[in-house]
Amino acid sequence: MKKLIILSVLVLFITIIASCGGSNNSGTSSDSIANAGGAAANEDGTENPSYDPKRGEGKFSSVDLGTSLDAARAESGDKVYLVKCGACHKLTDEKLVGPGWAGVTTRHAPEWIMNFITNTDAMIDKDPKAQAQLELCLVRMPNQNLSDDDARNLLEFMRKNDGVK
């Protein structure tokens, strides 16, 4: 009987962990892969249509912010923050699990922020600024599987938090 309970708890635990690692397909992205006709091989030879071999730490080399805040994007970014980011990041300069977001858009270039949001693991592995943050926070930021649009909306929300009008 004990073995059955332990096995049941183990299966439940594995199921919960597996469900947390899925990709977020709810967002739309200008460069998302539509694969209605089956899996096509990527440049690296894999047949996983959700893998983008060009999504390295330097995918965003230029981000057009415009001259003023995009209120609709900022509002969408607020929703992303509440669901994906608010548990670890405060909107002030106070550290929670991760660093506070006050002034983040003045400390980092928009391209760096977008690359960090969308490809956290590669940035932490290769970027000195991201590695310095890891040393301060001692917790590696998990990949939130955000679409490029969600990441851009989140950047606009960060700009709003920093007082951009």
95 strand-pairing partners: 89
- Which residue is listed with tokens 């932490």? 124
Predicted local distance difference test score (pLDDT) of residue 27: 42
Whether residue 52 contacts residue 31, with contact meaning beta carbons closer than 8 Å, is answered with yes
Contact in structure between 120 and 129 (CB atoms under 8 Å): no
Q: Which residues of the chain have pLDDT under 50?
A: 22-56
The Cα–Cα gap between 26 and 102 comes to 28
Find how far residue 101's CA is from the centre of its chain.
15
Delimit the domains of the chain by residue range.
69-165
Predicted local distance difference test score (pLDDT) of residue 116: 93
Supply the pLDDT for residue 127: 87
For residues 57 and 126, is the Cβ–Cβ distance under 8 A? yes
The predicted pLDDT at position 64 comes to: 87
1.10.3720.10, 1.10.3210.10, 1.10.760.10, 3.30.70.3280: which CATH number matches 69-165?
Answer: 1.10.760.10
